[in-house]
Amino acid sequence: MNKLYFGNNLAVLATLPAASYDLIYIDPPFNTGKVQSRTQLRTVRSEQGDRVGFGGHRYSSIKIGERAYGDSFDDFLAFIEPRLLEAYRLLKPQGSFFFHIDYREVHYCKVLLDQIFGRDSFINEIIWAYDYGARSRKKWSTKHDTILWYAKDPENYTFNYDQIDRIPYMAPGLVGPEKAARGKTPTDVWWNTIVSPNGKEKTGYPTQKPLAILNRIVRVHSNPNDQLLDFFAGSGSFGEAAARNGRNFTLIDQNPQAIEVMRQRLAFAEPEFYEIPKDII
């Protein structure tokens, strides 16, 4: 069964039963332009630490500056942490979590995720490289996003090798015609263009992610009829990938425009619709 929730994801997630999802993908927003005057802190493991964190370890906070990676850094970690804890709670024992994030924030989030999932659960850092748009004259143009993959149990997770799509060899002349025709499996660097501004995939919703990227994640990291969750759903790209590949989706977004786009885009999958009252959280 497919479900679409309109509301604050933290409120919705709290209502969902533990260990009920096989695959969770999120692509949270991050406002890199925001100016705040907060101090940036980093949490480090320390026997003298004044906080007890995940796994009963002690942590202390160290000041790393007034403006490292923009001033919204502190707020973003405070915002995302309870949601990451929910993701962990909601994953089935063999489930996987995919976290799509900005290159400026990924390192801080990785430390947080390592604390929540355990370092051994970190399997891959996937670089989605897109090479589209204007070039900088002042630095190397930043043309990638990062997707972190955590498996709840690093010894036992879904990885459907046979479902990996093939890509062309860079030098097909070096591998012989049979191999060249079959292509090769991608590495942890995924070259894929952004959603074309004029293409038929485009919904008009900002930050829409390409189906090719999400189809790959869905096919390789879940099985037909599995339960999939995206709680920053936006235009519903992950939901579309789930439904078109025979999986069930739960999608959450608090923006009425996202809900409008998803209701149209995902009508074919007939999701049940739920609205969470605003006064909850």
Ligand X SMILES: C[S@@+](CC[C@H](N)C(=O)[O-])C[C@H]1O[C@@H](n2cnc3c(N)ncnc32)[C@H](O)[C@@H]1O
For ligand X, the binding residues (CB under 6 A) are 8-9, 27-29, 205, 207-209, 232, 234-235, 237, 252-255, 258
Closer CB to ligand X, 189 or 280, in the complex: 280
Give the shortest CB-148-to-ligand X separation in angstroms. Answer: 15
Give min distance, CB of 210 to ligand X, in A.
Answer: 8
SS3 274: strand
Whose Cβ is closer to ligand X: residue 234's or residue 271's?
Answer: 234
Query: Residue 98 Cβ, how far from ligand X at the closest point, in Å?
Result: 11
Q: Give the residue nearest to ligand X (CB).
A: 234
The owner of tokens 């907060």 is 38
CB of 71 or CB of 260, closer to ligand X = 260
Q: Which residues contact 197 (CB under 8 A, 6 or more apart)?
A: none
What is the smallest separation between the CB atom of 137 and ligand X, expressed in angstroms?
28
Q: Which two tokens stand for residue 244?
A: 């078109």
Cα separation of 56 and 77, whole Å?
A: 20
List CB contacts of 129: < 8 A, sequence separation 6 or more.
143, 144, 189, 190, 191, 192
Give 70 or 234: the residue with its C-beta nearer to ligand X: 234
Cβ distance to ligand X smaller for residue 208 or 248 = 208
Of 129 and 181, which has the nearer Cβ to ligand X? 129
CA-wise closest residue to 249 among 237, 260, 257, 261: 237
Q: Are 47 and 60 in contact (CB under 8 A)?
A: no
Contacts for 51 with CB less than 8 Å, ≥ 6 apart: 43, 58, 59, 60, 61
Angle at 185 between CA 198 and CA 175, to 5 degrees: 110
| Residue number with CB closer to ligand X (115 or 235) | 235
The CB-of-32 to ligand X minimum distance in angstroms stands at 12
**What's the CA gap between 217 and 248, in Å, rounded?**
14
What is the distance in angstroms between the CA of the first residue and the CA of the last residue of the chain?
A: 26
Specify the residue, 95 or 239, whose C-beta has the smaller distance to ligand X.
239
∠ CA(70), CA(72), CA(76), 5° rounding? 130
Find the shortest distance in angstroms from Cβ 145 to ligand X: 10
- Beta pairing class for 40-45 and 51-52: unpaired
In the complex, what is the shortest distance from the CB of residue 49 to ligand X, in angstroms, rounded to a whole number? 29
Q: Min. distance of Cβ 208 from ligand X in angstroms?
A: 4
